[in-house]
Structure 1
Amino acid sequence: MKNLKRRWQLSKVRPGDGSALPDYRLWQLFSRSLLFLDLPTPTGETHVYAVDVRHLADAKSKKDHENAVGKSPAALYRDGVQIHRSNLPTSFPVPGGVIEVATSAFGLKRVHYVAEDGTERALRPHDRSQEGLRARFGRRNPRISAVVGAVTLLVLLTALVISLMHGVEALTRVPAIAEHVGRFVSPVDLPTWGNVALTVAGVLSAVERATRLRFNRLIDTVAS
């Protein structure tokens, strides 16, 4: 299944247009992610690969990619020159492996180099991007960063538990189900403002985790 997914993602990759990598601007903080990977060659040279993710870009058709129409959701650059374009999620082929790229509604899910032997590592974010700023904060304030990470996880887990209880309560309101298992009443009944606050906190927590390339389908999606 994993190999089929990899082949499907590779089949979406189109040749790049040879354009230069645009500079990262401060106003692109919430609409663009830029990450780098240094890969050595057998001859001793090192090529710098850059993955440019445009979060607001629409998926492009094959023809649009081939004609370099608009900004691609994801593009791969080598030494500052665009060599591939693709919709998301995708896997860009690079020497010795692939770069897997995926996003969610909250930001990045995954931008990792996966070598042929199965080892993987996350790419290095641009210093001024969301991911880069979060990484710098973590390096400068490791303890505070750990606390923030723990709090965001706790918020999402709390939201998940409450959501599941409300879901079970709604399900057991169905007469046919209640007849067999009884009626479940959630012990947590938040007021409207409480639900709104928890929703906002959940979304912010998911965004914070996305800046660290942390994503769990159940926790980050369902809880938020």
Structure 2
Amino acid sequence: MVKKLRRNWQLSRVGRGDGSALKEYRGWQLFTRSLFFLELAAPAGGNHVFAVDVRYLADAKTRKQHEDGAGKSPAALYRDGVQVHRSNLPATFPVPGGVIEVATSAFGLKRLRFVAEDGSEHALRPHRRSQEGLRARFEQRFPRTSAVIGTVAVVVLGTALAVALLKGVEAVTRIPPVAEHVGAFTSPVRLPGWGTVALAVAGVLAAVERALRLRYHWLLDSVAS
């Protein structure tokens, strides 16, 4: 029920596209833009190629302009190269046979998928020169290495989460009323200054790596934020 209400709210925020043409993906947009494609059958026959264009800097700088009906939108939907919808993020775009859901985190995409009317989910194809496209091609060429990198990312984020939880418990039990009832807890993990910085940097890199593969867990990936 909550999911349905959220989807309906996001659909209500979708604005009409300005009819502009989809711009070519440039190499210098590697860290500021994501572009994905999906081919769907048209109700009247034939196929349409849909493209989802996500502009990360637009989300931060031009949200107000978009809400006023002007400016570049954080996310836009193109059909056969022509903009038909645009929206702030998170967004849900209507397409034939379902919707396309888009959401971002502090490190990139956390969700971009086609959800069919029967509830099934399908991935979109990233532009081959985008961050996600390059990561997907690396996985295709070096599947074992890719799997190892993915596992290391999970271990790093899990370690960062464990350290954060231990520090949190220690801080809470130092509050006098809590300490009187449950006693004080001292974290068994004591990292030096350089270790704390190294873990933080590794956590950010791990979160970015998972974002490139559209892997997101509300607890695991939020620890790097």
Distance 1:80 1:16 in 2: 12
Match of 1:206 in 2: 207
Distance 1:126 1:64 in 2: 25
Percent of aligned pairs with the same residue?
A: 68
Match of 2:49 in 1: 48
After TM superposition, where is structure 1 displaced by more than 4 Å over at least 4 residues in a row?
none
1:71: Cα distance to partner? 1.5
Match of 2:157 in 1: 156
Residues 7-30 of structure 1, C-alpha deviations (whole Å, 9 max, x = no match): 110011000000000000000000
Match of 1:87 in 2: 88
Task: Map 1:44-193 to 2 at 5 A.
Answer: 44-57=45-58, 58=60, 60-61=63-64, 64=66, 67=69, 69-193=70-194
Structure 1 spans left out of the alignment, 5+ residues: none
1:60: Cα distance to partner? 2.9
TM-score by length of 1: 0.96
Contact 1:65 1:85 in 2 (8 A): no
Match of 2:40 in 1: 39
Distance 1:70 1:87 in 2: 12
Match of 1:26 in 2: 27
The size of the alignment, in residue pairs, is: 222
Contact 2:66 2:73 in 1 (8 A): no
Q: What SS does the corresponding residue of 1:194 show, helix, strand or coil? A: helix
Distance 1:172 1:66 in 2: 48
Contact 1:14 1:66 in 2 (8 A): no
Contact 1:47 1:78 in 2 (8 A): yes
Distance 2:43 2:142 in 1: 38
Contact 2:108 2:208 in 1 (8 A): yes
Structure 2 spans left out of the alignment, 5+ residues: none
TM-score by length of 2: 0.95
Q: What SS does the corresponding residue of 2:220 show, helix, strand or coil? A: helix
1:212 partner letter = R
Distance 1:133 1:64 in 2: 30
Q: What SS does the corresponding residue of 1:38 show, helix, strand or coil? A: strand
Indicate the RMSD between aligned Cα atoms, in angstroms. 1.3
1:201 partner letter = A
Contact 2:15 2:85 in 1 (8 A): yes
Distance 2:82 2:108 in 1: 24
Match of 1:220 in 2: 221
Residues 41-98 of structure 1, C-alpha deviations (whole Å, 9 max, x = no match): 245411000000001113534x74574x222100000000000010000100001100
Q: What SS does the corresponding residue of 1:117 show, helix, strand or coil? A: coil
Q: What SS does the corresponding residue of 1:8 show, helix, strand or coil? A: helix
Contact 2:103 2:110 in 1 (8 A): yes
Residues 171-216 of structure 1, C-alpha deviations (whole Å, 9 max, x = no match): 1000100111111100101011110000000001000000000001
Distance 2:150 2:63 in 1: 35
Contact 1:159 1:198 in 2 (8 A): yes
